[in-house]
Amino acid sequence: MNDELKLVKKAKQGDQHAFGKLVQQYQNKILYLAFDLVGNYTDAQDIAQNTFLQAFKNIAYFRDEASFSTWIYRIATNAAIDFQRSRKRRRQIFINQSKYEDEDSPYLENIADPDVSIIKNLEDHDLKKLIADLVEQLSPQQRAAFMLKFFHDKKTDEIAEIIDCNPATVRGHLLRATTKLRKMLKDER
Amino acid sequence: MKSCKKKYLAVDYFFDELSADQKIQYESHLDTCEACQQTLADLEGTATLAKQYRRQQPDKKFLKNYHDQLQTQFVSAKKTSSPFEKLIDIFFRTPSIPVRLAQAVALLLLGIFIGRNVIWKSDFTTTPLLPNQNSYYTLNEDLLLKNYLQEAEMVLLDVSNLNPVEDQKIISNLIQSTKYIYLLQKTILLKDQASELENFQLMELLNQIELILLEIYNLDEHAPPDALNEIKQHLKRSYLLMEIKSIAQQDI
């Protein structure tokens, strides 16, 4: 039995020290995942803390057939998706606030062709804006699939478990995101 | 360029999630399929960008504060506990088989005691959901929680049964109906009441109902079927209908 499984087993029996160890193992991963999904660290921190609180309350119901990592990522992703929905709702009701800076897009000038070598010329700032613009155009589920695959190295089947859909849908989300990225580069060229 | 049904395999191929046989078959297909070649190029381009991407890092103070808060909340539980804690561990957290048996017998005896002395001696009453339910009767009849929950259940059931492609007209009729608008208003009013009564369980439920109702309300007239599908999935994932049913069955 690996160390994580031992900790999970102890935590399920009410060992708070073991749960604390699990929190330490996942605290940064969950914070970064939440940041990738909501775009700022203040909200990401709330989501991460809620994730661990939910996990703590429900650890007794955690079933061993899924991995703890998938389970905690699932809680965090759901919390972030719900957060995005409520933020969207707030925006629609009140003011249409733009989260990202509305600057010119200098990265586009550098790109004559979505070719790998040219993409390498992107400055850090331009790349951040490109990714931010892309994720803004994706639905919460597509965004989650995209981030989990390209930035958190999750397998397609695991992503399907995390966002509660089938693997074919995850593949669809990923292809839609990559196609959108190509179109964004091409349209502005 | 024609689309290809096999382009979804490009994802598994690119991330090395195909079996050896599938890989060989797909590689021979790739030689002749332009659509799949383009899909693969898109995936490669995206992966290259992802590798270069450096996530904005939180500042050290923020990160320390975040770690400290988690530390206080979850990590600082001492490994060596007090004698009282040890007793709690033995009896409740990690009970051995004899302790479990003793607990079962004690529960049985307690059940018999309660049955004889409490239930059969008085009328059967359950704990009300609201600590001060009288305040509800000061409002209009429609605002009685039970009536509200029935209405909410009916509207959400309608939503969960909608077909996003065929029922576009029904959706717009639903969100324009007086029934729908009233339900939204009642949700907000009841939320205020639940907040005054500090009934957080009810507040959470009303928040979730409000969220779904507003999501539907904010649907654009020409919203794609995907948008409603997402709301339906959200509804399914939240187990809201089950929760409404279970609360409505309580004595409120």
* Res. A35 pLDDT band, cuts 50 70 90: very high
For residues B156 and B113, membership in a common domain is answered with no
Domain boundaries, position B111: 98-125
Best residue in B49, B60, B67 for a mutation probing chain A (most A CBs within 10 Å): B49
pLDDT mean across residues, chain A: 79
- Residues of chain B neighbouring A156 (CB-CB closer than 8 A): 11-12, 15, 17
- Residues of chain A neighbouring B49 (CB-CB closer than 8 A): 119, 122, 127, 130-131, 181
Amino acid letter for position B168: Q
Residue B176 has pLDDT above 90, yes or no: no
The residue that leads in pLDDT, A164 or B122, is: A164
The residue that leads in pLDDT, A148 or B139, is: A148
CA angle A36, A41, A43 (to 5 degrees): 90
Hey, is B20 helix, strand or coil?
A: helix
The predicted structure's pLDDT at residue A75? 94
Q: In this complex, do A116 and B45 lie within 8 Å of one another by their Cβ atoms?
A: yes
- Residues of chain B neighbouring A114 (CB-CB closer than 8 A): 41-42, 45
User: Residues B181-209: pLDDT tens digits?
Assistant: 778 888 888 888 777 777 777 888 888 88
Give domain status of residue B89, yes or no: no
Which residues are CB-neighbours of A83 under 8 A, at least 6 positions away? A38, A43, A46, A47
Amino acid letter for position A48: A
- Joined together, the tokens standing for residue A85 give 């929905």
For residues B112 and B141, membership in a common domain is answered with no
The predicted structure's pLDDT at residue A68? 92
Give domain status of residue B81, yes or no: no
Q: Which of A172-186, B105-119, B161-175 has the lowest mean pLDDT?
A: B161-175
The predicted structure's pLDDT at residue A161? 92
The predicted structure's pLDDT at residue B1? 63
B55, B69, B93: residue with CB nearest A35: B55
* Res. A66 pLDDT band, cuts 50 70 90: confident
| B176/A88 Cα distance (integer angstroms) | 21
List the one residue out of B153, B158, B152 whose CA is nearest residue B174: B158
For residues B159 and B221, membership in a common domain is answered with yes
| B104/B114 Cα distance (integer angstroms) | 15
Give domain status of residue B205, yes or no: yes
Q: In this complex, do B74 and A56 lie within 8 Å of one another by their Cβ atoms?
A: yes
- Residues of chain B neighbouring A148 (CB-CB closer than 8 A): none
Hey, is B167 helix, strand or coil?
A: coil
Which of the listed residues B21, B37, B52 is the one where a domain comes to its end? B52
Q: Which range is most confident: A25-34, A80-89, A137-146, B165-174? A: A25-34
| A69/A87 Cα distance (integer angstroms) | 27
Give the CA count within 13 Å in the CB-facing half-sphere of A49. 16
Amino acid letter for position B141: E
B17, B46, B233: residue with CB nearest A156: B17
For residues B141 and B200, membership in a common domain is answered with yes
Q: How many CB pairs under 8 A join A and B?
A: 139
Instruction: Look at chain B and report how many structural domains it folds into.
Output: 3
List the one residue out of A151, A172, A161 whose CA is nearest residue B9: A172
Which of the listed residues B125, B143, B165 is the one where a domain comes to its end? B125
Give domain status of residue B58, yes or no: no
- Residues of chain A neighbouring B17 (CB-CB closer than 8 A): 155-156
User: Would you put residue B177 in left (φ > 0), alpha (ψ -120 to 50) or beta?
Assistant: beta
Q: In this complex, do B218 and A89 lie within 8 Å of one another by their Cβ atoms?
A: yes
Q: Give the number of other Cβ atoms within 10 Å of residue A135's Cβ.
A: 21
Residue A32 near residue B83, CB atoms below 8 Å: no
B42, B50, B70: residue with CB nearest A150: B50
CA distance A119 to chain B (A): 7
- Residues of chain B neighbouring A56 (CB-CB closer than 8 A): 74
For residues B120 and B163, membership in a common domain is answered with no
CA angle A69, A179, B43 (to 5 degrees): 55
Report percent pLDDT > 90 for chain B.
11
The predicted structure's pLDDT at residue A24? 92
List the one residue out of A24, A85, A87 whose CA is nearest residue A52: A24
| B158/B31 Cα distance (integer angstroms) | 49
Give domain status of residue B154, yes or no: yes
User: Residues B222-243: pLDDT tens digits?
Assistant: 677 777 788 888 887 778 888 8
The predicted structure's pLDDT at residue A119? 46
Give domain status of residue B227, yes or no: yes
A130, A156, A172: residue with CB nearest B15: A156
How far is Cα of residue B190 from the mean position of the Cα atoms in its chain?
A: 21
Give domain status of residue B59, yes or no: no
User: Residues A77-129: pLDDT tens digits?
Assistant: 999 988 887 766 555 444 333 334 343 333 333 333 344 433 445 566 677 78
The residue that leads in pLDDT, B184 or A145, is: A145
The predicted structure's pLDDT at residue B15? 93
B43, B52, B233: residue with CB nearest A178: B43
Q: How far is CA B23 from CA A158, A159, B3, B20, B55, in A?
A: 20, 21, 20, 5, 33
Give the pLDDT mean for B39-49: 88
Structural domains present in chain A: 1-97 (1.10.1740.10), 99-189 (1.10.10.10)
For residues B115 and B186, membership in a common domain is answered with no
CA distance B122 to chain A (A): 35
User: Residues B5-18: pLDDT tens digits?
Assistant: 888 899 999 999 99
For residues B41 and B16, membership in a common domain is answered with yes
Q: In this complex, do A120 and B52 lie within 8 Å of one another by their Cβ atoms?
A: yes
Q: For chain B, what's the residue count?
A: 252
For residues B44 and B112, membership in a common domain is answered with no
The predicted structure's pLDDT at residue B181? 76
The residue that leads in pLDDT, B153 or B121, is: B153
List the one residue out of A41, A165, A150 whose CA is nearest residue B62: A41
Q: For chain A, what's the residue count?
A: 189
For residues B152 and B209, membership in a common domain is answered with yes
For residues B155 and B174, membership in a common domain is answered with yes
The predicted structure's pLDDT at residue B112? 85
DSSP category for residue B138 = T
For residues B201 and B245, membership in a common domain is answered with yes
DSSP letter for each residue of A94-113 = S----SS-----HHHHH-SS
A32, A89, A181: residue with CB nearest B211: A89
- Residues of chain A neighbouring B47 (CB-CB closer than 8 A): 150
For residues B116 and B222, membership in a common domain is answered with no
The predicted structure's pLDDT at residue B178? 66
Residue of A nearest to B69 (CA): A49
The predicted structure's pLDDT at residue A150? 92
